[in-house]
Each structure stands twice: as C-alpha cells, then as structure tokens.
Amino acid sequence: MKISVSLAYNLFEPLTYRAPDDAAIRPGTRVLVPLGRRHAMGWVTGLDSPYPGRLKGILGIIDDPFLPGADLLEYARLAAAAYFTSAGIFLDHGLPPSQKSHRNLRLRDGSNDAKLADLAPAEIERRAGAGPLRLYFKKPAQAAPAATAVATGAVPPPRWLLAQDREREYREACERVLGEGRSVILLVPDNATARYWQSILPGVDPCHSEVRNAVRERTWNEYLLGKCAIVCGGISALAMPLAAVGLLIVDRAASPLYARPQGSPFHLDHLAGLRARAGGMPLLCGSHSHTCASWERRAEIVLDDQRPAPGPAHQVHALKGRERGIPPALLDMARQNAQAGRKTLILVNRILPALHFYCADCGRVAACPRCGGALQAGDDGRVLCRRCAFRDDAPGNCRRCGRPLEALHDISIESLARALERGCGEEAVLTLTAADLKDGQAALGQARERPLVIATLAALNPFFHGLFAAVVWIKPESFFSMEEFNAAEMIHACGAEIASLLGAGGELHVFSVFHFHYALQYLMDEDKFFERELKYRRWFLLPPFSGVYELELRADRLRSLGAAMRELYGRCRDSLNVRRIYLLSRQRQRGSFRGVLELHADAEAIAAAGLHRVRRSVLRRTAG
C-alpha cells in the first residue's frame, strides 16, 4: 500500500512511500524512511496517497505504545496548512526529548539488539530489503493514550476575559474542568509568566525550555498514563498528548511576545486557536486589552470586561531624533519620584550602552558620511555605522562646525543606573533583566525595597501587578520595528500591560521620537485607537481581514529571477492581492539571487493557485 509520511522538515506536502499491506500501520504510526542518502523518522498521516510515480519502501516501523489521537493529528494538519510546512514538525513538538532523534532507536535483531546509529545507511537498507525493520526506543512510552475523537459539533465561541487580576477566574475554570476528569492547557508567552502561574494555581506541570529533560520525560509519561492536571508552557504544551482536554487558556492573549516568536515562524496565539478548533474545546483568552481581531469580532465572542475605568493618566514627552544621551527631564522626574517615595519603573530596551560620537556645540550625534546614520564606536575602538558598512580609524572633527567630537553613552540600563545612582544613591536603584527574573519572588522582594527599578520588557509579568506608582517607557519605537504592519498594535498592547503594573492613581510617561504617532496618542483610548488601526488594516488588506504570506523565489541568474517574478505577478496580482514585489539584494545570497512577492490572501487560496509547488521557492506566513 501507499502511505503518506510527514517528516519534521519544512516540506509542505507529505512524501509517499511503499509499505507492506500486512504491516499494521495506522495514521500516527512512526516509521523510518529513506531521504536521499540519509534516513529520517516520520509520521504516517494517510493510507491512500494518490501519488502515481515510482516509490521507495519504508525502512522500518517504530514499535511504540504512543499513538497520537485524532485531535492531535487534526491540529497538526490545520497548523501545517496555515504555515505551509510539515505536520511532522508540530507532532514532534509533543514528544519527550528521548523520542525525537533516530539515534535513540534500537533494532530488534534476535537476541542481539543493535543501536541504529551504529549502522551505516547502506547497511540499514540492506537489512530492510527483506521487509521493514522492527525498531523501538531505548526509553519507550509506558502506555498508549486514550483515543480522543475529533469533535463533530459546533466549536464553542472563544471567551475573552479582560481583567488585570485573573487568578480567581482561572482557578474556578480549572477546578470545574479538573472535577470533570479532564485536563487544562495553559498557554503563556514567556517562562516568567509560567513560573507565576505555577506559584498561584495548584497542580501546574510546567512544560517549557527551562524544564529539565528528565522532568519533561516524567511529565509526558504521567499524562500518557491518564493523568488530568494543568499543563503550562508554549508550543510543547499545545502538542502534549493529553487523554482528555477540557479547556485551553491563553494568558496575556494580546501580549506582543506572542507576535514576536524567538527563532520560530509560528505564532502561539494563532496555534492555540487551531488546537481548540481541532479538539472542539473551549478557548479562554485572558488579557489586559483587546487585539485587532477580538475588537473587530467582539460581537462573535463571549466578552467579559472586568477592567477598571478610567485608565491611568499618561503623558507623551517628545524626543528629537538626532539627540542622544539621557534626557535631563527623565533624570529629574526619577529623582523627584524617589524623594517623594513614589516607586518608579523605567523600561529601557538596551542593557549595555552604545557609544556615540557627539558634538556639544551642534547638539547632535555625528552622522555617517555615506548614509546619514549615527556613528558609533565599535568594540575595537574604530568608528562604524550600523546602517551601512562604513568604517574609519578615528572620528575626526564635526563635519558641521569643525569642533572635536566627544564620546556619549546612549540610554541603556547600565548608563541610566549610573546616572541615577549619582543623584539618588546606589541603594535606591535596582536593575532587572530576564536573567534576574528566573526567581520571580526574589525579584519582587528586591523591587519592593528600592524606589527606582530599571528593567527591560521582561518586567511585564504578573509578579509586579499594581506595584508601581509611575512607569517611564523610553523609546517604544526601539522595542518594536515601526516598519512592521502591526507595530501600532504591539505598542498599544504593551501599553495595556504596563498599565497593569500601576497602582491606583498611577502615571505612565512615554519618552519617544514618534511622539506624534497615534499608537502613543491613543495609548489609553481603546475606541479611538482601534477605529484608526482597523481603518488602516482594511485599506491594505491586513489581518484580521486577510492573511499575509511571503513567497521567496530563488534563481541562479538575475534575469531568470526577474522573468519568474513578472510571470507570477501577472498571474496572481489580482486573485492573491500581490501588494509588494522586490529583490532582497542585487548580490548573490548563499549562491542565488532572491526576490519576494508579498501576498495578502488566505492559505487556501494560495494552495489552490499552486504556489506552494513553485520550484526553488519558500512560502512563509507573516501574519493572519
């Protein structure tokens, strides 16, 4: 028979292999297959592949009690279709570390079992000539999970809980679901938030990058044996093979951390919706503010707004684009708050300062002679421009007035701490980064003792709710690229999370070069902000009104690349709303020229047009 196998590679369509009819293969079975001159593990996703060409046979069948349920297979299928990648990637995320590599496989060979890693690919193919090999893991699963059928009824509408304090709501929802003998998935944007809920909710099992492999193995096997509890984490928690899932909670659902995955093309909040749809489970989104999608569709969701009104007072202070250094108004405000006993949080993007070359007479940072960017001092002491490749041995004099240039530190945690320690004392200032928040309770205790706290956005977690009387946010445009289409939404969502750190009567001060931007002017006015933002989204067919995908084409010759891009643009300009078409570079990148078409359409329309089959191309989901 012909089977479809999804590998843990960026391959959208599954590969087809030949398998014996009596092999007892089912969807979800893992097999070992040849891939070029190598071999790889994959998941069987179909038993009736329509592929008509020549086929290679599978090399082995992995005998393991674990078999993903129908809901997990459906989730992987939906996610793969949305991101134009392989379902095997999402299924692999739900495995413990010991079962992700073929190096942990053993070969059943009579009484002398052998390590698969010790055999050459040619030897494996020779042994598989008489039939698929029987393989097993060194640490096999303890039992098969209970089968979970995909819900055929209507999926309940998502519920949005807009509140700063969500502990009681979460606890009651979890107790109700656990009392019914079902489990809860609690999705969080970062590990600090996971640690907070682990300290608040009883019986939370963490499943994220900071959990040791041995603990993840034990947790995975416990749930496979039928344990019902709360799993808290990211993409691994979403794919955990739970026997019965009764609720999916997305905490801080509007957090910009979901939209800015570190080294991953996947958006966890979007995947959570697919997981809830695949399992037919209720979805609870806890947040401090709306997203564009929830605001536009608020008539279709169950909305529970428990936010206090009105919001905190906020003020935007203008900064000049060519100025560097710490604004004197910021230092004065921090000193006055410290003297008045008003606990203040200052949010900065940089930990270490950048060293610029500054002219005191002109009041400006020296500009690059090539591109006009700000000149900085590199680690080797040479002058460099971060925007282009300009370098020089010495800064020279100011090009405007001819006066000597001075060294000037930009705003950072380190430079700001030094400046405030001189005016308020060393014991008055506390600096916090993500590394300092690994012990959230200890960081909270230290923050309560100091009047001034300087931190990165890692401080935006539930440990510090209601702690500060004032928050100063320095240059929001440095946290989020203003060239991204959703930069305004991320700034607005971040402002709502900052507001949750303020106590009664607290104030939010923003120092920004983009002081005129509507994201800052309407930071505490949700109605006006979303009215302006959604109008912009409709004009340019942006989410939530359309998906955004990038089709990257590659060619050996620039002329061939241009012809291919023109042909696709002419064919798909109207049907797929091609809004941008451009070259990544006129120079070769890794041996080929590359160009991009930006498509504003749904994944189904792009697949129907066959663009996922274009040779030498990569299709990426940007947003949607």
First vs last Cα of the chain: how many Å apart?
A: 38
Q: Which of 64-78, 142-156, 239-253 has the lowest mean pLDDT?
A: 142-156
- Give the domain CATH number at 36: 3.40.1440.60
Whether 342 and 485 share a structural domain: yes
CA 624, CA 267: separation in Å to the nearest integer?
A: 10
| Type and span of the H or E element at 554 | strand 548-555
Q: Answer whether residue 401 is part of any domain.
A: no
What is the model's pLDDT at position 74?
94
Q: Answer whether residue 154 is part of any domain.
A: no
Q: Answer whether residue 404 is part of any domain.
A: no
Q: What does DSSP assign to residue 373?
A: P
Whether 163 and 265 share a structural domain: yes
Q: For the chain, give the percent of residues with pLDDT over 90.
A: 51
Rg (CA), the chain: 28
Q: Provide the edge-to-edge strand list for the sheet that holds 230-233.
A: 204-207, 230-233, 183-187, 245-251, 283-287, 159-162, 302-305
List strand residue ranges (DSSP E) for 163-264, in order: 183-187, 204-207, 230-233, 245-251
Nearest 5 degrees, angle CA 79-CA 61-CA 214? 65
Q: Answer whether residue 144 is part of any domain.
A: no
Model confidence at 145: pLDDT above 70: no
Determine the longest span between alpha carbons in the chain, in angstroms. 86
- Give the domain CATH number at 215: 3.40.50.300
Whether 289 and 321 share a structural domain: no
DSSP codes of every residue in 245-286:
EEEEEEETTT-HHHHS-SS-S--HHHHHHHHHHHHT--EEEE
The domain boundary, picked from 246, 281, 305, lies at 305
Amino acid in the structure at residue 20: P
What is the model's pLDDT at position 149?
47
Q: Answer whether residue 150 is part of any domain.
A: no
Model confidence at 54: pLDDT above 70: yes
Residue 498, CA distances (Å) to 197, 222, 266, 533 in order? 19, 38, 25, 20
Whether 289 and 325 share a structural domain: no
Q: For the chain, give the percent of residues with pLDDT over 70.
A: 93
Domain count for the chain = 4
Q: Answer whether residue 79 is part of any domain.
A: yes
Q: Answer whether residue 513 is part of any domain.
A: yes
Whether 256 and 133 share a structural domain: no
- Give the domain CATH number at 613: 3.30.70.260
Q: What does DSSP assign to residue 352?
A: S
Closest CA to 156 of 290, 301, 253: 301
Q: 149-196: per-residue pLDDT in tens?
A: 444 456 788 999 999 889 999 999 999 999 999 999 999 999 999 999
Q: 332-354: per-residue pLDDT in tens?
A: 999 999 999 999 999 998 887 66
Model confidence at 89: pLDDT above 90: yes
What is the model's pLDDT at position 146?
47
Residue 147 pLDDT level (bands cut at 50, 70, 90): very low
Model confidence at 24: pLDDT above 60: yes
The domain boundary, picked from 470, 492, 525, lies at 525
List strand residue ranges (DSSP E) for 348-412, in order: 355-359, 364-365, 375-377, 383-385, 391-392, 406-409
What is the model's pLDDT at position 150?
45
What is the model's pLDDT at position 110?
62
Residue 31 pLDDT level (bands cut at 50, 70, 90): very high
Whether 241 and 299 share a structural domain: yes
Residue 75, CA distances (Å) to 93, 275, 303, 310, 345 in order? 12, 5, 25, 40, 41
Q: What does DSSP assign to residue 131?
A: S
Q: 193-227: per-residue pLDDT in tens?
A: 999 999 999 889 999 888 998 899 899 888 888 88
Closest CA to 502 of 464, 468, 525, 455: 468
Whether 122 and 164 share a structural domain: no
How large is the average pLDDT for residues 564-592? 92
CA 220, CA 137: separation in Å to the nearest integer?
A: 15
Whether 200 and 300 share a structural domain: yes
Q: At 404, is the secondary structure helix, strand, or coil?
A: strand
Residue 493 pLDDT level (bands cut at 50, 70, 90): very high
What is the model's pLDDT at position 247?
94
Residue 50, CA distances (Å) to 16, 283, 350, 381 in order? 9, 36, 54, 63
Q: Which residue has the higher pLDDT, 409 or 21?
A: 21
Whether 120 and 169 share a structural domain: no
Whether 330 and 425 share a structural domain: yes
How large is the average pLDDT for residues 257-274? 81
> How big is the chain, counted in residues?
624
| Dihedral sign (CA 19, 25, 26, 29) | negative
What is the model's pLDDT at position 104?
83
Q: At 74, is the secondary structure helix, strand, or coil?
A: helix
Model confidence at 509: pLDDT above 90: yes
The answer to whether residues 250 and 269 touch, using CB atoms and an 8 Å cutoff, is yes
Average of per-residue pLDDT values in the chain: 87
Joined tokens for residue 312? 């905190």
- Non-local (6+) Cβ contacts of 609 within 8 A are 571, 572, 575, 576
Q: 514-567: per-residue pLDDT in tens?
A: 999 999 999 999 999 999 999 999 999 999 999 999 999 999 999 999 999 999
* Domain with 573 in it: 548-623
The domain boundary, picked from 106, 137, 168, lies at 137
What is the model's pLDDT at position 322?
62
Whether 329 and 459 share a structural domain: yes
Closest CA to 257 of 523, 76, 459: 459
How large is the average pLDDT for residues 428-441? 88
Whether 181 and 295 share a structural domain: yes
Q: Answer whether residue 542 is part of any domain.
A: no
Find the DSSP H helices in 57-166.
70-83, 87-93, 121-127
What is the model's pLDDT at position 98?
84
Nearest 5 degrees, angle CA 422-CA 428-CA 508? 100
What is the model's pLDDT at position 96?
87
Q: 365-398: per-residue pLDDT in tens?
A: 777 877 777 777 776 667 777 677 777 777 777 7
